[in-house]
Amino acid sequence: MAHAEPANNGPIATPPPHTDAYMDMGARRGMWKGFGNAATWGSMLVILTVGYATFTLTMHIPWIGALIGFAVFGIAAGMLMNMGGAWIATVVGLGVLALFIQVMIWLGGLLLG
């Protein structure tokens, strides 16, 4: 019969008691900060998109009023949550994109008669 190694060898190296596993705490804080920023940005984008669509499609608010209202809301919420200038630029860019799309819809309506 072959000799088998014992199953309970334990870890190769045990971390010191003051550390949390092997991860650097600065890296861990950075990871959670990045995760929080991504979650905040994603949530705000979903709120703005669904809110704009809800106001224009189901509540029959004029698109320009809903666009201005949600742009102001998005910028104010971003400033309150310290999301920075990139967030404001994103909201302004989305507003410009929405204006472009509405112009294309209007031109398409003119072409169709």
Give the residue-averaged pLDDT of 85-100. Answer: 96
- pTM, two decimals, is 0.73
State yes or no: pLDDT of 4 exceeds 80.
no
Provide Rg for the chain, Cα atoms.
Answer: 26
Give the residue-averaged pLDDT of 26-46. Answer: 93
Tokens 């650097």 found at: 24
Provide the residue ranges of all domains of the chain, joining segments of one domain with +. 41-112
Position 13: which residue type? A
Q: What is the 8-class DSSP label of residue 20?
A: S
For the ranges 13-22, 52-61, 81-90, which has the lowest average pLDDT? 13-22
